[in-house]
Amino acid sequence: MNFSHPEFYQAVIYNNEAETAGAGVYVFNHSHPTFSNSTIVNNTTVGWGGGFYCNSIYGDPIITNCIVWGNTSDYGLQIFANSGGIAVTYSDVQDGEGEFWFSEHCIDADPLFSDGANNDFTLTEDSPCIDAGDPNSPVDPDGSVADMGAYPFFSAMTANFSADITILCAGGQVQFSDASTGEPDSWSWVFEGGDPETSTAQNPIVVYAEAGDFDVQLSVDNGSESDTYLLENYIHVAPQPQPVISGETDVCENNAKEYMVDYSEGNTYEWAVSGGSIVDGAGTNQITVLWGDAGNASL
């Protein structure tokens, strides 16, 4: 580049050869190119700078969100710069750590291409370049922080969810949590036997009033991909156990007696008495009843 100021976005520069310098990019003579979200790989020279050669006569490129990897040369493997005007930010540069242009937001880590040997420079899911770009750059098409390199990573849209409990008594509630991948932005739930029966919330709460085994289905979408996940008989709802009252049944008139139900999982207790009155413990699992005149009474 000579007396030029081009802008490169999502450029892929690879497998080039040069006899003297800058097999990937040669910058000199008052040139100020901008490279963003680009991949410069596997370029070879016997001279200086396999990826970039930046000449001292004001050859000052700006390199952001880029991957510079696998380039070879006799001097300065990836980037050779003898001008202080070069700016490299939020980029993955092989052997760049320690160079004057290597900023605090750069990394020196294998980008984990899908198949670099066969010129597939897309990123695999474990790549350190994913979501590692400048957070002030335009977001990737999936709405995530910009990746480094020319090819943004798209995680597969996969619907998934979990529940805080799956076995409960009738009348209990379940908190569902979305665990989908692929950054969905819409959710469609179907709850067999639940209230509500459907929901578009990401993490809904559902009440199950009746006993039974019930399916749960979640469909997710992000505008370009969608997926559905169904778990059959996922929620197991048992009937509410009937309380068993213990205490004396043959009592003298105008006598007080204690009664209780051994049901520790209950949240509320409501007692009904005929022929007497509750004098202690109302609202708990143990009460004291003062019985009245002789005759039949109930509890």
pLDDT in tens, 88-125: 999 999 999 988 889 989 999 999 999 999 999 999 98
What is the amino acid identity at position 79?
I
Mean pLDDT, all residues of the chain? 89
pLDDT at 266: 56
pLDDT for 238-281, tens place per residue? 998 778 888 888 888 889 889 898 765 556 788 899 998 999 98
Question: Rounded to whole angstroms, how far apart are CA atoms 157 and 51?
Answer: 35
Question: Rounded to whole angstroms, how far apart are CA atoms 279 and 276?
Answer: 9
Contact 92, 103 (CB under 8 A): no
Q: What are phi and psi of 183, to 5 degrees?
A: 55, 60
Structural domains in the chain, CATH included, are 7-123 (no CATH), 161-238 (2.60.40.10), 245-291 (no CATH)
**Percentage of the chain with pLDDT > 70?**
95
Instruction: Cite the beta strand spans of 209-247 per DSSP E.
Output: 212-221, 226-238, 245-246
Q: What's the mean pLDDT in 216-222? A: 95
- Report which secondary-structure segment, H or E, holds 62: strand 62-64
The pTM assigned to this predicted structure is 0.57
- Judged against a pLDDT cut of 90, whether residue 129 lies above it is answered with yes
267-299 as b/e, with b when 16 or more CB fall inside 10 Å? eebebebeebebeebeeebebebebeeeeebeb
Question: Rounded to whole angstroms, how far apart are CA atoms 284 and 290?
Answer: 16
pLDDT at 232: 96
Burial class (CB in 10 A: 0-12, 13-18, 19+), 30: middle
Q: What's the mean pLDDT in 268-296? A: 87
Confidence band (pLDDT; 50, 70, 90) for 2? low
